[in-house]
A and B are shown apart, each in its own frame.
Chain A
Amino acid sequence: MSTEEIRAALADIVNEVAGVDADDVQLEKSFVDDLDVDSLSMVEVVVEAEEKFGVTIPDDQVKNLKTVGDAVSYIERARAAA
C-alpha cells in the first residue's frame, strides 16, 4: 500500500469511528486538536487500524501518534518490519 492508500484507509476508519469528514483526515492534522478525536475514540481507531493493516500498535505507542502522518508512518514501518 502506498502512503496515500494507507492515509485514505485510515481516513475511512476515523470517519466511521468519530464522524470526521474523511477528506479532513490529512497527514498534517492532529487527531486531538484538529479532528476532535477523543482518547477513547483513538483507542477504537487504533484497534480498527490494527485489523485493517495487519499490524500491532502497542498502547504505549499510541500517545506518540499525534498526527495522521505519525500514524501513517508508524503503520508503514510496522508493515515493512512484518
Chain B
Amino acid sequence: MSAQPKSRTRVVVTGLGTTNPLGGDAATTWERMLAGESGVRPIEDPAFADLPVRIAGTAAVEPTDVLDRVRARRLDRSSQFALTAAIEAWHDSGLDVPQQAGELDGDRIGVAMASGIGGVQTLLSNYDAMLAKGPRRVSPLAVPMLMANAPAATISLEIGARAAVNTPVSACASGNEAIALAADQIRLGRADVVLAGGTEAAIHPLPVAAFANMMALSKNTGDPTTVSRPWDTARDGFVLGEGAGALVLESLEHARARGARIYAEVLGAGITADAHDIAQPDPQGRGGARAILRALADGDIDPASVAHVNAHATSTPQGDVAEALMLHATLGAHAGDVVVSGTKSMTGHLLGGAGALEAVATVLAIQNRLAPPTINLDNLDPAVELDIATKPRDLPLGDIVGLNNSFGFGGANVAVAFGSVD
C-alpha cells in the first residue's frame, strides 16, 4: 500500500459491481474489456427512426431480466441499473453476510449514487401517457421514480443505509464525484462504509436528439463498433451508453477488522470547476489539471508513481486534446510514461454512470496490474502525445497509482487516485 504520511482515516475499495453495454457484472465486463470488445450497437426501436443518431451502448443485460418484476416496475431504468450494480458490489464486499459484516450498524452506512439526468425515461413516458389518455394516467409513482435521488434512495432501502444518502449531480463527472464524496464521508468519520457510484438511462429519442443537436454525438454511420474512437483523427463526437457502476468504500480499519478483501485504496480526490463555458471544456484543460493536482496533493502522491490513467476520453474533437494537455501539465516529463486507457471506446459514454464504471475499470487495472485497451485508435491525433494502450498492457510491480478522470457539462472536473494494496 502506498505510503500515506497524513494521519487520517484511510479509505479502501472492498466491493465492485456494474451493469453496462459490455456486461451485466464486473467480471464479464473486465473480460470483454480486455478482449477489446465493443458494446455499441444499432438501436432498432422505431421511435429513433427519424433521428440522426441510431446507435448506442445499450445495456448488455436488461435489468428487468435480473430484478424482481414488481420491484422493477416501480423503478426508473436508471434506478434499475443502480440497484443491479449495487447488489453486486454489496455482495462482493461480503457485507451482505452477517458474519462478515460484524457489528455493522446502518447508521454508519452511507450511499453516494450519482445521476447525470435523473429518471428522464419515466418523466417522458408519463408525459406521453398524459397527452394520450389524460392526467388520470400519470403514474402515482412518477415522482419517486423520476427524482434524481431515486437510485440512491433505492439502494439505501436495499442495504439499510441510514447515514448520508447523497446524489451528486455534475453531468458526466457525477459518478466520479460520488466516489470523491463517499471517501470524504468516511474520512470525516460520518460513515464506516459508503456504497458509491453512478447510473444513467438516457437512451431515449429526446435526449439523443438534444445531444445530437448540440453536436456532441458522433454522426458516423459506419460500423457502430468503430464509432467511439478516442484520440483518433477520425473521431467526431461521443456515443451514448447506459448502465451503472458501484463501489463499496470502507475505512481501512473497518475492512481489516472484518478481514475483507481489499481491491485498492482511495488515495486522494480532486474536484474543481472551469468557470469557462456551460458545455465546452476549457481548451487548455486547466480546470481538469487543477483537479488532478488536487487529487495528487490530497493523497501525497508522487506524480512518478502514477502508472495508469483511465481517461475521460469521450471521443470528442476538443475534449480528448484538452485531457492530453492536462496530463502533460500535471505529470510533467512522466506523462509520456503513463499507460493511458480510453474505455469509452468500448462502452460508449454512460454520462452520470461513466465515472463509476471507469472507477471499477481503474481499480481492476491497478489490482490486476493490467491496463485495458483503447479500441478504434487507428491514427493517433498528432496533438496527443500520450502512451495509449491499444492492447491490454502490463503495469509495473510495486506501489502504483491509477487516476480516474471525469469531466462534465457545467465545467465540472473530478479526478480520483487509486493505489495498489499488495
- Assess whether A43 is interfacial by the CB under 8 Å rule: yes
Tell whether B69 is near chain A: CB-to-CB under 8 Å: yes
Number of A-B contacts (CB under 8 A): 15
Residues of A within 8 A of B8 (CB): none
Residues of A within 8 A of B139 (CB): 44
Contact assessment for B70 and A50 in the assembled complex, using a CB-CB cutoff below 8 Å: no
Interface SS of chain B: helix, strand, loop or mixed?
helix
Q: Does B6 sit within 8 A of A, measured CB to CB?
A: no
A43 to B139, CA, bound (A): 8
Task: Contact check, B70 vs A18: say whether CB atoms are below 8 A apart.
Answer: yes
Partner of A47, one of B68, B70, B73, B136: B136
Residue of A nearest to B141 (CB): A40
A47 CB contacts on chain B under 8 angstroms: 136-137
Give A18's nearest chain B residue, CB to CB. Answer: B70
- The CA-CA distance from A18 to B69 in the complex, in Å, is 9
A50 to B140 Cα, complex, angstroms: 15
Return chain B residues, CB-CB under 8 Å to A44: 139-141
A19 beta carbon closer than 8 Å to chain B: yes
CB distance from B332 to the nearest CB of A (A): 57
A contact face: mostly helix, strand, loop, or mixed: helix
Q: Chain A residues near B137 (CB, 8 Å)? A: 47
* 0 or 1 for each of B114-140: is its CB under 8 Å from A? (1 = yes): 000000000000000000000011011
Q: Which residues of chain B are near A18, meaning CB under 8 Å?
A: 70
Closest-by-CB residue of B relative to A47 is B136
Output the least CB separation between A76 and chain B (Å): 21
* Complex contacts, B70 vs chain A, CB 8 Å: 17-19
Interface flags for A19-51 (1: CB within 8 Å of B; 0: not) read: 100000000000000000000100110010010
Is the Cβ of B68 less than 8 Å from the Cβ of A50? no
Q: Which of B84-140 contact A (CB under 8 A)?
A: 136-137, 139-140
Q: How far is the CA of A43 from the CA of B69 in the complex (A)?
A: 19
Determine which of B68, B69, B136, B140 lies in contact with A40 in the assembled complex, contact meaning CB atoms within 8 Å. Answer: B140
- A-facing mask of B35-71, CB < 8 A → 1, else 0? 0000000000000000000000000000000001110
| Interchain CA distance A40-B142 in the complex, whole Å | 10
Chain A residues near B140 (CB-CB < 8 A): 40, 43-44
Closest to B138 in A: A47
- Beyond A18-B70, A19-B70, whether A50 also contacts B141 by CB under 8 A is no
Complex Cα–Cα for A44 and B126 (A): 13
| B133 nearest CB neighbor, chain A only | A51
Q: Is the CB of B141 within 8 A of A19?
A: no
Give, as a whole number of angstroms, the nearest-CB distance from A32 to chain B: 16
Give the shortest distance, in Å, between B185 (CB) and chain A (any CB).
31
Bound together, the chains give a CA A20 to CA B140 distance in angstroms of: 19
Give the CA-CA distance A19 to B140 in the complex, in Å. 17
Q: State the CA gap A17–B139 with chains docked (Å).
A: 11
Q: How many angstroms from the CA of A25 to the CA of B382 in the assembled complex?
A: 69
Query: With A and B bound together, what is the CA distance between A44 and B141 in angstroms?
Result: 9
> Whose C-beta in chain B lies nearest to the C-beta of A39?
B140
Separation of A52 and B73 alpha carbons in the complex (Å): 19
Q: Are A50 and B69 in contact (CB under 8 A)?
A: no
Nearest 8 CB-CB pairings of A with B? A19-B70, A43-B140, A40-B140, A40-B141, A47-B136, A44-B140, A18-B70, A47-B137
A-B contacts, 15 of them at CB < 8 A, read: A17-B70, A17-B73, A18-B70, A19-B68, A19-B69, A19-B70, A40-B140, A40-B141, A43-B140, A44-B139, A44-B140, A44-B141, A47-B136, A47-B137, A50-B136
Q: Interface residues, chain A, CB within 8 Å of chain B? A: 17-19, 40, 43-44, 47, 50
Instruction: Please report B residues at the A interface, Cβ cutoff 8 Å.
Output: 68-70, 73, 136-137, 139-141
Known: A19-B68, A40-B140. 7 other contacts (CB 8 A): A17-B70, A19-B69, A40-B141, A44-B140, A44-B141, A47-B136, A50-B136
